Structure 1
Amino acid sequence: MTDLDATPLTAAAAALPTRYPAHVGAVRLFGHEFHRDAAGVFRRLRAQHGSVAPALLDGDIPVWIALGYRDVHHVLTKPDLFDRDSSRWNAMDLVPPDWPQLWLLGGNDSVVTAGGEEHAARSAVVHDALAGVDGLELRARCERIADQLIDEFARFGEAELMSQFVLRLPGMALAGLLGIPFREVPGMVRDLATTMEHVEGSLEAHARMTGGLRRLVRERLDAPTFDLTSRMVHHPLAPTEDRLVEDLSIVLLGGGQPTAHWIGNTLRLLLSDARFATRLAGGRRSVGQAMGEVLWEDPPVEILSVRFAVRVTQLGTWRIQPGDLVMLGIAASNADPQIRPDLSAGAGGNQAHLSFGHGPHRCPFPAQELAEVIAETAIEVLLDRLPDLTLAVPADKLRWRESVWIRGLSELPVVFTPA
C-alpha cells in the first residue's frame, strides 16, 4: 500500500486538480521515504523537474520547493517578488486550524515575517541586543553548562547525547542570555524542542513558550537588568509587547534547535569520518573544519522557512502564481551540481553556503557568531572530558529526525571510559 492509498483525502488533496494541477501526484515532503533519505528525494526532484519542483506538505498542502542555488538566492534577494507576508497565501483556506506548522508558515507576527521599514527597525532591535552579548562570557557560560550536563552521565560510560547533551545545551545557554528564571529553564527547553516538531502538542508547547516570554517582557519593562530581553524591551526602536514576544521566540527557536543540530551533526561527522578522527589528537582545527563542512553537507536547517509570491513570476521552469508558497531548500541548494559539480571534492574553506540564509532576512551576523561560540564550546568540552568518545552503533544506523525543516539526529548513542 502506498502513502497515497493509506492517507484519507484531505480538503487540500481534493482541491489540487482544479486549483493546483501541477501538484497532483507531487512528492510529499513527509513520511518514511522522505525522512530516511531527504537528499535522495531532492536529487530525484531535481532530475524530474529541474531547479524548482511542486511538492506537498503534511495534509497535502501544495508548495513549491526551490532546489537550485541560484533560485534560492534569487528568492532571498528579491523581496519585491517574494515576501514574508503570509496574508498573501492562496492556500490558507485549505489548512486545518490545528495544523502544527501553521505558526511557522503563516501564523505569527515576528520579525521574520515583517517587511520594509518595519523589518529594518525590528531587525535593528534584535541585532543590537545580540551584539551586546559578551562572547567570552558566553563561552564561559557554555563551558559551565557543558560540564554540568556531562557530569550527569560521565560515570556511566555510555550516553544518548542528543537528549542528554546536544538538545539541552543551546536552549539552556540562550535561556540564560534572555534572563529566563532558572526554575523555568527545563520546561522552556522541552517546549523549545517540541515546538519545532510536527507532532501532537507542538502548538501547546509554542503557546507555553510564548506565555513565559510574555511574562518576562512585562517584568523587564518594569525592572530592566543586563540581559538580552532588557536590551530589546528598552531599545529605542522596540516594537509592541506582542511583537517583542514574537521576536524573542524567534531568537530562541532560530538559535536553539539549529545550533543544537549543528552540534549533533558535527559530532556525528567527527565520530564517523576517519579524516577527522585521525586529526583530533593533533589540535582543535578539525573541530572548526567539521563544523564548516556540516554547514555544506548536513546543514541543521534543511529547508529555510517560506516566501509568498507577490505577483506572477517565473521560477525555474514554472510559472508561479500570486500567493503561491515557495520553500527554500538549503540542503538541496548547497548540493546543486551547477555550483558543486563534484560533491566528493568537498567545499574546503568556501563560505558561500546558504545555511544562514541571504539577503535582508538572513540570520543576523551576531547570531551566527554566538551560535558558533555555543556549538564549538559544547563540542570541545565534550571531547576534552571524554577523549575516547565512540559511537555505540554503526554510523549508518543512526536515525534522522522526522522534520521537513530540521536536519538532525533523533539519537546519538555513544560509549566511553567512565570519568
Structure 2
Amino acid sequence: MSEAVPLGGPRFQTEPACLYREMRRDHGSVVPVELDGGIPAWLVLGYRELHQVTGDPALFSRDSELWNQWENIPADWPLLPMIGHRQPSVLYTVGERHRQRAAMISNALESVDPFELRRQAERFADELIDTVCLSGEADLVAQYSSLLPVRVLAHLYGFPDDEGPGLVTALNDMIDGRERALAGQSHLASSMARLVADRAEKPADDVVSRMLADDSGFTAEEIVQDLMVMMAAGHQPTADWIGNSLRLMLTDDRFAASLFGGRNSVAEAMNEVLWEDTPTQNVAGRWAARDTHLGGRRVRAGDLLLLGLQGANSDPQVRTDASALTGGNNAHFSFGHGEHRCPFPAQEIAEVIARTGIEVVLDRLPDIDLAVSAGSLTRRPSPWLRGLTELPVRFTSTPALGGTSR
C-alpha cells in the first residue's frame, strides 16, 4: 500500500475530525493505513461500508487466524494485546459458538441489579470525590474518571475493593499500547485467573460466578479471556465517556444549566459525545474471508479491516442535522454493530456508571469550572481511544461525606 496513511501521530490527538475528513477526501470511504512496524490494514470510514462489514460476518470474519500478516508480526508487537493471535476469547470466536458465548456474557451482565449498580457507582464516586473536595481543585481525569469505572466493574465481577488500583494501572498500561502493554495484559490475566479459581470453589452473587455456572461448557481459561475483554472494553471507554462529557459541559454554553442541577443536559451531553467525540475511535477488526471489493477498494483474502467508528459517525452522507444529536439519536457506531457489538447489558452498565459519575461531580462540587483554558486541554495521542490526559477544575471547597449517606 504505497499510499498508506500511518495510523498514529499527533493529529489523532489534536485534530482527528480534520484528519478523518482529509482521509475521506484523499482516499474515499476505505483508507489504506499502516500500523506499528509498517503492517498494512484498511480503515473503514464510510457509514454504509462499516454497516456492511459489521453486518456480514461470513465475508468479514472476526477470526484473526485468517490474517495474512502473521508471519510479519514480532512476538513483542505492541498491538498484540488488541489484535489477538489464537486467543480463546469471545472477540475471536465465530458462528454458533460465538452466539453461545455472547449469550453467557449477556446473561451474566443482565443479572446485575440496576439499583445496586447505581448504589455502588455512587459509593465509589463519593469516595473519590471525598479525596479532593476539601482542596477546591482536582484533576478529574487522574483523580476521578480514570479510577471510577474499574472500581465499579471490579466489584460487580467479584474482586476485593483493594485490588482496584492495580487493575487500573494494568488497564492503563494496555491502553498505552507500547512497551508496558504486555506487562499490563499479564497482570490483568493473572488477576482474573485467581478470581475465577476462587469463584469456582466459592461461588458468590457476582458476574464471574454466573459465568462459571453457565452450562455451555466453556473452560476457565476461556472465561478468564472473556473477563479480560469485558474489563478492558468496559473501563477505559467509560472513563473517557465521563471525561469527554464533563469537558463538553464545562466548555459549551448549551450545557451550562446542567452545572446547576439540570439532569436532561447530562444525558444530552453524553449522547453528543458518542456522536462527535466517541471514546472508542477505531477498533481492530475484521478479516476478509476471501477476495472482495469494498468502497471501491479491492480487498484481498486475509486483509485486516479496522472499524473507523468515529469516521463513520461523521460520514457526511448520513449525518443528520447536528442539533438532533442531543435528542437521543442512537444510530451512532460507538458501541459497534452486528453480532460482535458491545452487548446491550454492557452498554446499560457503562451508561449508568458514566451518568452517575457525572451527576456526583455536579452534585458534590459547587461552582465547578475549568482551572485552565479550554484550548489548553490535551488528549491521549492514540488512534484507538480518545480521552483527555487531564481535566483540571476548581470549585468551592466542601466537606467530605466520610461514608455518610448522600
Q: 1:343 to 1:148 in 2, by over 3 A?
A: same
1:345 Cα shift? 6.5
Aligned length: 397
1:103 Cα shift? 2.4
CA contact (8 A) 2:146 2:239 kept: yes
1:36 Cα shift? 2.0
d(CA) in 2 for partners of 1:172, 1:349: 28
1:279 Cα shift? 4.5
Match of 1:231 among 207, 210, 213: 210
d(CA) in 1 for partners of 2:300, 2:233: 29
Within-5 A mapping of 1:99-114: 99-107=77-85, 108-114=87-93
Within-5 A mapping of 1:167-246: 167-246=146-225
**1:355-406: CA deviation from partner (whole Å, max 9, x where unpaired):** 1111111111111111111000000011100021111112221111122210
1:282 Cα shift? 5.5
**Alignment partner of 1:264 is 2:243:** yes
**1:99-128: CA deviation from partner (whole Å, max 9, x where unpaired):** 121121133321011100110111111000
CA contact (8 A) 2:173 2:183 kept: no
Aligned to 2:68: 90
Q: Give aligned-pair identity as a percent.
A: 49
What's the Cα RMSD here? 1.4
d(CA) in 2 for partners of 1:116, 1:31: 37
1:179 Cα shift? 0.7
Aligned to 2:402: none
> Per the alignment, in what secondary structure is the counterpart of residue 124 of structure 1?
helix
**Alignment partner of 1:335 is 2:314:** yes
CA contact (8 A) 1:145 1:173 kept: yes
**Alignment partner of 1:137 is 2:119:** no
**1:63-100: CA deviation from partner (whole Å, max 9, x where unpaired):** 10000100111100000110111111111222221112
CA contact (8 A) 1:305 1:328 kept: yes
Match of 1:409 among 367, 371, 388: 388
Match of 1:50 among 23, 28, 38: 28
d(CA) in 2 for partners of 1:291, 1:372: 9
Aligned to 1:326: 305
d(CA) in 2 for partners of 1:285, 1:266: 13
Aligned to 2:404: none
d(CA) in 1 for partners of 2:121, 2:303: 42
d(CA) in 2 for partners of 1:126, 1:401: 30
Match of 1:361 among 320, 329, 340: 340
d(CA) in 2 for partners of 1:160, 1:77: 40
Aligned to 1:387: 366
**1:270-326: CA deviation from partner (whole Å, max 9, x where unpaired):** 000000013443621000110111110111100123000000111111010000000
Within-5 A mapping of 1:150-161: 150-161=129-140
Q: 1:139 to 1:347 in 2, by over 3 A?
A: closer
Q: What is the letter of the counterpart of residue 150 of structure 1?
A: I
Q: What is the letter of the counterpart of residue 117 of structure 1?
A: E
d(CA) in 2 for partners of 1:31, 1:177: 36
d(CA) in 1 for partners of 2:365, 2:301: 54
d(CA) in 1 for partners of 2:193, 2:49: 38
Structure 1, unaligned runs of 5 or more: 1-22
> Per the alignment, in what secondary structure is the counterpart of residue 247 of structure 2?
helix
d(CA) in 2 for partners of 1:279, 1:152: 24
1:27 Cα shift? 1.3
Q: What is the letter of the counterpart of residue 334 of structure 2?
A: S
CA contact (8 A) 1:65 1:327 kept: yes
Structure 2, unaligned runs of 5 or more: 399-406
Match of 1:126 among 97, 105, 114: 105
Q: What is the letter of the counterpart of residue 33 of structure 1?
A: R
Q: What is the letter of the counterpart of residue 101 of structure 1?
A: L
Q: What is the letter of the counterpart of residue 68 of structure 1?
A: G
> Per the alignment, in what secondary structure is the counterpart of residue 354 of structure 2?
helix
